[in-house]
Amino acid sequence: MMTLMTSMLISFILPMTVMTIATMLSKKSINDREKSSPFECGFDPKSSARMPFSIQFFLIAVIFLIFDVEIALILPIVIIMKTSNIMMWTMATMFFIMILLLGLYYEWNQGALKWAS
């Protein structure tokens, strides 16, 4: 019981000590206006570096990433077909594709795929 408490205490104190030391050492002490400003060929920037972007573009990018990952999940299905029961393979594949199509329909119905509003 004592070794368990000791190991728990060490596993708590050691990472906290390392994190504290790393935080203290990583702080920048000198704030320079030129180094903290965005780089634009040595000239002062004409506008803010934090320009707003279209939320519609962000939504399309997220939807693309989601469907891209799903395509990566579909690719091994062809390889699995050779070693599995064809009826179970067909049911699982159809179920997966149905979920993809329902997600696409939902996004389309919500208007997330319309670029101009």
Extract the tokens encoding 39.
Answer: 């780089």
Tens-place pLDDT, residues 89-98: 899 889 988 9
**What dihedral do alpha carbons 10, 13, 15, 17 form, nearest 10°?**
-140
Q: Give the per-residue pLDDT at 44.
A: 61
Across residues 58-87, what is the average pLDDT?
A: 85
Tens of pLDDT, residue by residue over 21-48, are 988 887 665 666 666 666 656 666 666 6
Task: Delimit the domains of the chain by residue range.
Answer: 57-109
pLDDT at position 16, please?
Answer: 93
User: In this structure, how many other beta carbons lie within 10 angstroms of the beta carbon of residue 65?
Assistant: 10
Over range 88-116, report the average pLDDT: 86
Q: What is the pTM of this model?
A: 0.48
User: How high is the mean pLDDT of the chain?
Assistant: 81
**Quick one: residue 53, left, alpha or beta (phi over 0 = left, psi -120 to 50 = alpha)?**
beta
| Lookup result for tokens 């408490």 | 5
Cα 3 to Cα 102: distance, rounded to the nearest angstrom:
54
